[in-house]
Amino acid sequence: MTKLKPCPYCGESAKVRWFKDDDRLAWQVCCSDIGCLVRPITPSYRPKEAAVDAWNTRAKEDQINE
């Protein structure tokens, strides 16, 4: 599995969590810090790697400055 990037807001670590959705496993990644003011979380994904890829996606500098 690809290593998770830290939370883009507070810099703390992220965690992968699973749950049952329609009797199948679904995955989300979220900030592990309960004190994070934003507490981002991905939508539900199958497979787990898709949730990790979504979490690790960051805006490019040219997108931020537009």
User: Domain limits of the chain?
Assistant: 1-57
Distance CA(62)–CA(66), nearest Å, equals 6
Mean pLDDT of 40-60: 94
Mean pLDDT of 46-55: 96
Residues 29, 52 contacting (CB under 8 angstroms) = yes
Residue 23 has pLDDT above 90, yes or no: no
Distance CA(21)–CA(18), nearest Å, equals 9
* pTM of the predicted protein model: 0.82
Q: Which residue has the tokens 């931020």?
A: 64
Q: CA–CA distance from 63 to each of 5, 30, 59, 66 (Å)? A: 19, 23, 6, 6
Residues in the chain: 66
